[in-house]
Structure 1
Amino acid sequence: MLSPATLFHPFGLDISALWFNPASQNAFSVVAESASPEEATFVLGSVLVSLIVVYLAAKAGGELCVRVGLPPVLGELIGGVVVGVSALHLLVFPESGFQESGSLIMRLIEATSGVGTEAAGSVFQAESEVISVLAEIGVIILLFEIGLESDLKELIRVGPQAAVVAVIGVVVPFAAGTAGLMLLFGVPTVPAIFAGAALTATSIGITAKVLAEIQKLSSPEGQIIIGAAVLDDVLGIIVLAVVASLAKTGEVQIGNVIYLVVSAAVFLIGSIFLGRLLSPFFVALVDRLKTRGQLLIASLIFAFGLAYIGAAIQLEGILGAFAAGLVLAETEKREELEEQIIPIADMLVPIFFVVVGARTDVSVLNPFNPENREGLIIAIFLLAVAFLGKLVTGLGVFGKPGINRLAIGVGMVPRGEVGLVFVGVGSATGVLSKSLEAAIIVMVIGTTFIAPALLRIVFKEPDSPSAGTAIAPEAADASAVSAE
């Protein structure tokens, strides 16, 4: 995920809104300044209808996948594809090339509310922006929840393994993808480097959601995956800054890279250290509050505060939210807060996954379109590198006999929204050809939709406990009782 506002602005690269709605950063101000009160009401109405579509798609897709033994998050992604740019055109966005006339929701608003064609454009822009912002908040809540469910001591303990896994997961696919595109397909150097960089991403949101659903988040494998995915996110931002600078100026600005590395390390380590130091004061403050929701609201203030700091120093807001969850998980309020955050997550997190699916144009998979064929051939190569380049990360785990290395590799595979960010930056800089851009999109689609299903398969409980997942204490107690 890209941070809002000025992610790379200090480096002369303004890509703040390439992920969510680059064409309508001032949508709210447009409506506020030029729209009548009736038109502002239409914005609210269109957002409400959009949320109805989002929740119906998420619930229908999730229920269907659960019944066939697949992760619900996969159903939310598929539901998004069905209602998005690839099928029903209910949930579409201006940056995908759609106008208000292409949105069935806007047609409904026009038909039922009598909004004029000119005003419909402003309403469509604002509605898309609101849904995009809600999706951003959704993934921040998701990472905060994942942080709460994680064990900081275990993450620190597996830190060296996670670091090795993350580095392998960046270096191997980047090197293999770049070299293969240049040698096998004759792709010029800069586009090949950009495509190779897109292979380094890991979608922590998708992987973490699946691990939580299958109750493997606190397993040794789960903690290594989460730790490595967080580091991958940081490394991905650095790689993106490097290749974007290369595409724009033809040279890499070393100062920018050093700044990102130092700021990432200081932010992650510093926020966790200071958070643990100040957490007793947080608990004492919460205990003194008398109004309803004192724990939840205070925790959200803390999470959003760290998320903002992460965004302000050109990292990602989700990293700050994850760090906040890790800190609060160390307090005596952990279980109570976990229960209170679940309804918030149930309301906001599905918006993120449905929007990811809705923005995904699967028409690039159509082999009968001659324009897609070159991209599909390259996509087959990129998919192979994308899977193998992350599967080998499991080999980097050391000192863990019997651990499920295949599960670690599969958990690092999904590219999701992070891969789409690379595509957006590549398109904006003009370094990607249409065929190479389509190939990267196919790679993102394949890893995003296949990996969650594979993750559940490779994490299935073996007949013996030697395959790498820790036995729950309850199971151990039950075994002891039965043995007696």
Structure 2
Amino acid sequence: MIVSLLSLATAITEITPFWLVATAEEESAEPEGSIILAGVLLSLVAIYIASKIGGELCSRINLPPVLGELVGGVVIGTSVLGLLVFPEAGATAEDSLIMAFLEQTTALEPGTAEAVFEAQGEVITVLSELGVVILLFEIGLESDLKELLRVGPQAAAVAITGVVAPFVGGTAGLYYGFGVPAIPAIFAGAALTATSIGITAKVLAELGQLNSKEGQIIIGAAVIDDVLGIIILAVVASLIKTGNIEITNILYLVVSAAAFLVGTIIIGRFISPFLVGMVNEMKTRGELLLTALVFAFALAYVATAIELEAILGAFAAGLVLAETEKRKELEEQVVPVADILVPVFFVCVGARTDLGVLNPAVPSNREGLILAAFLIVVAIIGKTIAGYTIFGASEINKLAIGVGMVPRGEVGLVFAGVGSASGALSPSTEAAIIVMVILTTFIAPPFLRVVFPEPSEAEASKQEGT
């Protein structure tokens, strides 16, 4: 009996530590999980406040709100406040003000702060990448394939020249002139190809030139630019993944990206009636939006699976659904989703940008400043000369067409964000691209007002009527 009791006591003493340890692990894991959630929530609070303040300020001075979101990200990010910093950029928990705040207000221990910081950064990064997928889906949804076919050879010539000239000039200049490695040079050159249709269209409308010959060519060329730019982005991002820049590999990626886009559009024309019919039969809430997102995410997955970028699949899904009777309704329903996720992307682009590398007082930073100046010059000249590819039309204001193609806006920021997330860009090259995007977007509206004559009151009234 005594032996049995001793055996039982020994068993209990052996078992007890296991249960105590398991309970302790569960208790420690639960607070850590809730603290990660708290860190994500605080990060989103900072992101949304920065995006709204920056966006409102830019909107009041007739600049695109997306630039305000970018600048807001710079303010709360690495360059200024250090509220939103990321471990992949080399930051630690000690660099984050949010982590410091969590240590003061929650049960976060210094020993677990680094793990929480890394987990929080991963969640925000995923939300940011999801934001750019939604953004490209929205851009595709707002694009008009029929309009692309109607713009004619003049707009196509302007678009192709406006893509090829800055891409070749930027890539060759960085690689041969500044010794930038091939892949970062190609990525920076690709970032020069974009054109922000939204910025130019707004200024043209204010000037009463939206329906002019120049205005129609600019808008058509900008739409083509977006499509070509997204294909280039998918190709360059794939080059980063493979690390292979052989001509055969580049040709394969270009052909596969174009084939994927065209093939998806053709097949999508057969699938879209089935999707619309299925949505019409549904009785539950969110039937249109969720069906569209399933379609977009599925194509994004397919693009990723064949070594392209998810954003190309999302863009293709938008182009397909833009041809359906549900386009307007879907555009309205996607807006709230985009309002939640897209600012996360743009603010994170700004937050990751270290503008300190452009401080001229530091000798090692002067290379970044020179790169920024070079990219700005190529960005302006490369688009301006595109207007002069229109021959035999002396009555057309070719300089105005070229200037109208200059602003990079949100599309340029997509390039910078993808490059930053991939790790392909050095801090100086990334900051140079950001500066190029900001300056080209800022200078284009006033220059457009210079190269276009002021509209008469009659013309302005007619434009408002349209």
Question: Structure 2: which amino acid aligns with 1:157?
Answer: R
SS at match of 1:85: coil
**Which of the numbers 231, 235, 245 marks the counterpart of 2:232?**
235
Contact 1:101 1:107 in 2 (8 A): yes
SS in 2 for 1:36: helix
Distance 1:56 1:383, change over 3 A: same
1:4 alignment partner in structure 2: none
Instruction: Read off the aligned partner of 1:280 and give its amino acid letter.
Output: P
| Residues in 2 aligned to 1:299 and 1:213: alpha-carbon distance in whole angstroms | 29
User: What secondary structure, in the 3-state scheme, does the structure 2 residue paired with 1:199 have?
Assistant: helix
Equivalent in 258, 265, 275 of residue 282 of structure 1: 275
The alpha carbon displacement at 1:415 in A equals: 3.5
Q: Distance in 1 between matches of 2:254 and 2:28?
A: 44
Matches within 5 A, 1:35-54: 36-54=29-47
User: Which of the residues 196, 200, 203 maps onto 1:207?
Assistant: 196
Q: 1:377 to 1:281 in 2, by over 3 A?
A: closer
Q: Distance in 2 between matches of 1:170 and 1:291?
A: 45
- Structure 1 stretch displaced more, 356-365 or 369-378: 369-378
Q: Which amino acid aligns with 1:368?
A: A
Counterpart of 1:261 (choices 254, 261, 271) is 254
Which of 407, 411, 436 in structure 2 is aligned with 1:447? 436
SS, match of residue 306 in structure 1: helix
Q: Secondary structure at the match of 2:372?
A: helix
Matched, 1:82 2:85: no
**Partner secondary structure for residue 415 of structure 1:** helix
Offset of residue 368 of structure 1: 0.9
**How many Å apart are 1:52 and its aligned residue?**
0.4
**Post-superposition offset of 1:323:** 1.8
- Structure 1 distance, partners of 2:140, 2:423, is 31
2:146 corresponds to: 153
Change (3 A) 1:182 1:463: closer
Letter in 2 for 1:131: I
State the match for 2:357 in structure 1.
Answer: 364
Separation in 2, partners of 1:48, 1:212: 36
Q: 1:194 to 1:348 in 2, by over 3 A?
A: closer
- 1:305 lines up with 2:294 in the alignment: no
2:114 to 116, 121, 125: 121
Given candidates 96, 99, 111, the residue that maps to 1:106 is 99
Range moving further from structure 2, 453-462 or 54-63:
453-462
Mapped to 1, the partners of 2:29 and 2:204 lie a distance apart of 50
The DSSP-based 3-state class of the residue aligned with 2:32 is helix
1:307 and 1:316 in contact (8 A); partners too: yes
Letter in 2 for 1:235: I
Structure 1 position 450, deviation (Å): 1.8
Compute the displacement of 1:423 (Å): 6.8
Over the matched positions of the two proteins, sequence identity in percent amounts to: 48
Q: Is the 8 A contact 1:230 1:319 kept in 2?
A: no
2:318 corresponds to which of 325, 349, 356: 325
Measure the CA separation in 2 of the matches of 1:34 and 1:180.
58
Matched, 1:391 2:380: no
Deviations 1:146-175 (A, max 9, x none): 222221201233486666455434543344
Q: Is the 8 A contact 2:163 2:193 kept in 1?
A: no
Match status 1:406 vs 2:402: yes
Count of residues paired in the alignment? 425
In structure 2, do the counterparts of structure 1 residues 110 and 41 end up closer, same or farther at CA, with 3 Å as the change threshold? same
In the other structure, the counterpart of 1:13 is none
Given the alignment, which residue of 181, 186, 189 partners 1:191? 181
**Pair 1:427–1:153, CA change in 2 (3 A):** closer
How far apart are the structure 2 equivalents of 1:305 and 1:399? 46
Matched-pair contact (CA < 8 Å) for 1:203–1:417 = no
Q: Does the aligned pair in 2 maintain the 1:43–1:126 contact within 8 Å?
A: yes
- More deviation, 340-349/450-459: 450-459
More helix by share: 2
What is the match of residue 335 of structure 1?
328
Asked if the contact 1:146/1:322 (under 8 Å) is kept, the reply is: yes
Cα offset for 1:210? 4.2
> Partner amino acid for 1:363?
G
Q: 1:344 deviation in Å?
A: 1.2
With normalisation by structure 2, the TM-score equals: 0.79
Q: Is the 8 A contact 1:397 1:405 kept in 2?
A: no
CA RMSD, 1 decimal: 3.6
- The amino acid of 2:432's aligned partner reads M
Question: Please, which moves more after superposition, 211-220 or 262-271?
Answer: 211-220
What is residue 413 of structure 2 aligned with on the other side? 416
Q: 1:203 deviation in Å?
A: 7.7
Letter in 1 for 2:406: V
Cα deviation digits, residues 391-434 of structure 1 (max 9, x gap): 33344467995685135421458633424655776868xxxxxx
Alpha-carbon distance in 1 for matches of 2:366, 2:448:
35
The one-letter amino acid of 1:352's match is: F
Matches within 5 A, 1:373-392: 373-392=366-385
Query: Contact between 1:49 and 1:105, CA under 8 Å: does it hold in 2?
Result: yes
> Structure 2 vs 1, CA of residues 278 and 180 (structure 1 numbering), >3 Å: closer, same or farther?
closer
AA paired with 2:402?
A: L
In structure 2, distance between residues paired with 1:213 and 1:105: 38
| Counterparts of 2:444 and 2:27, CA distance in 1 | 49
What CA deviation, in whole Å up to 9, does each residue of 1:98-125 have, x standing for no partner? 1011101111111111211232111111
- Matching residue's letter, 1:238: V
Work out the CA distance in 1 between the residues paired with 2:157 and 2:304: 26
Structure 2: distance between partners of 1:297 and 1:88: 38
> Which residue does the alignment assign to 1:431?
none
1:5 maps to which residue? none
Query: Aligned match of 1:272 in 262, 265, 270?
Result: 265
- 2:40 and 2:282 map into 1 onto residues whose CA distance is 34
Pairwise CA distance, 1:454: 3.4
Deviation at 1:62, TM superposition (A): 0.9
Contact 1:61 1:75 in 2 (8 A): yes
1:352 pairs with one of 345, 363, 387: 345
Question: Is the CA contact (8 Å cut-off) linking 1:150 and 1:326 kept in structure 2?
Answer: yes
Change in 2 beyond 3 A, CA 1:427/1:410:
closer
Write the distance in 2 (CA, Å) between the matches of 1:382 and 1:240: 20
Give the structure 1 partner of residue 131 of structure 2.
138
